[in-house]
Amino acid sequence: MRILSGIQPTGELHIGNYLGAAKHWAELQKEDECLFMIADLHALTTSQNPETFSATTFQKTVELLAAGIDPAKSVLFIQSHVREHTELAWLLNTLTPIGELERMTQYKDKAKKHKENSNAGLFSYPVLMTADILLYKSEGVPVGEDQTQHLELTRLLAKKFNTLYGNTFPEPKTLLVSSGARIMSLQNPEKKMSKSDTPDSCIGLFEEAEHIKRKVMKATTDTEKDIRYNLAKKPGISNLLTIYSLLAGVPIKTLEKKFKGKGYASFKTSLAGILEETVAPFRKKKKELETRELYVQEILKQGETKAHSIASSTMNEVRKKIGLLVF
């Protein structure tokens, strides 16, 4: 199966991105043909500092490599390096009903949050995402739950294109992890963990042990004492149990038994330990990669070449099918 997924370069990779996406990517690359992309053009839908933006994009590449993306198995590239993404996005824009974009919850949330910069890019963001996916005729897209609505649009546009111009694109499947597709904020477990939220609500994948411990100990729970999974009544502790279970590879039921009668502090201390065990090797790898700039550049150049060769062949086909004048 050909797989494509992407991540925006802004903000440090957090355990939500990891458990909902990057960990899954690292597993998929063992069997499938994988392309992973840093979505720098998507990040421009909110304002970015031109002085630091390219460094941010480079840093995200380092983070993905440190978190387990293997350049020998996967194609890793920067979205803006393959110009065909924007070309296909434009063509797909002409097929996209405005109503479909208006109902996108992420657009509604972001337009509200960034009132001073509610731009057209924010509105047509899911169309660029669709172009990212269809350009490679991807069959599966591993993402967290917050992206599922965007992928419904992708399938709709693939179908519409195929009906109008002949069979061209597969309708890609959304590949969600069975657990962890929506890791919640540590401070407000009703909201998803997000890099744009307050620092205490989010654990970075490369954070130092003492920061992690402090954040976990401060995480919102409830007034009861028992460690029990109940999403409706105990969303905070349920979120922590999910994180623990995924990182340690232990079922939630086993954790409930293990911590029976032990209280939140003991559970949280143990979770902080598991988190540190997970992230310590990532931190080490990231530090090492930060000293190997040319090596990382080379990975991106090779990624661009491989991605571009697929993208240009798709676009040749698309231009002809749409009826653009091609010599």
Query: Which residues are identified as catalytic?
Result: 110, 192, 195
Of 23, 81, 110, 182, the one binding ligand TYM (CB under 6 A) is 182
Of 29, 61, 80, 147, the one binding ligand TYM (CB under 6 A) is 147
Q: 70 with 57: CB under 8 angstroms?
A: no
CB of 21 to ligand TYM, least distance (A): 4
Contacts to ligand TYM from residues 187-206, by CB under 6 A: 192-193
Instruction: For residue 139, state whether it binds ligand TYM (rule: CB under 6 A).
Output: no
Q: 203 with 186: CB under 8 angstroms?
A: yes
Of 88, 157, 181, 271, the one binding ligand TYM (CB under 6 A) is 181
Residues 60 and 51: their CA atoms lie apart, in Å, by 16
Instruction: For residue 75, state whether it binds ligand TYM (rule: CB under 6 A).
Output: no
Residues 272 and 268: their CA atoms lie apart, in Å, by 6
Residues 79 and 53: their CA atoms lie apart, in Å, by 14
Distances (CA, A) of 303 to 20, 78, 135: 23, 8, 15
Instruction: For residue 242, state whether it binds ligand TYM (rule: CB under 6 A).
Output: no
Of 12, 32, 33, 146, the one binding ligand TYM (CB under 6 A) is 146
Nearer to ligand TYM, 18 or 259 (CB): 18
């419904």: which residue's tokens? 152
Instruction: For residue 213, state whether it binds ligand TYM (rule: CB under 6 A).
Output: no
Nearest to 101 by CA among 140, 149, 160: 149
Distances (CA, A) of 325 to 257, 282, 313, 322: 68, 49, 16, 9
Of 144, 189, 204, 303, the one binding ligand TYM (CB under 6 A) is 144
Comparing every residue's Cβ against ligand TYM, the nearest one is 20
CB of 240 to ligand TYM, least distance (A): 14
Q: What are phi and psi of 28, to 5 degrees?
A: -60, -35
Contacts to ligand TYM from residues 92-131, by CB under 6 A: 129
Nearer to ligand TYM, 4 or 310 (CB): 4
Nearest to 245 by CA among 273, 274, 269: 274
Instruction: For residue 5, state whether it binds ligand TYM (rule: CB under 6 A).
Output: yes
Residues 182 and 205: their CA atoms lie apart, in Å, by 16
DSSP-derived pairing of the beta strands 74-78 and 33-38: parallel
Nearer to ligand TYM, 133 or 259 (CB): 133
CB of 261 to ligand TYM, least distance (A): 30
Enumerate the β-bridge partners of residue 204. 14
- Using CB under 6 A, list all residues that contact ligand TYM: 4-8, 16-17, 20-21, 39, 42, 129, 132-133, 141, 143-144, 146-147, 181-183, 192-193
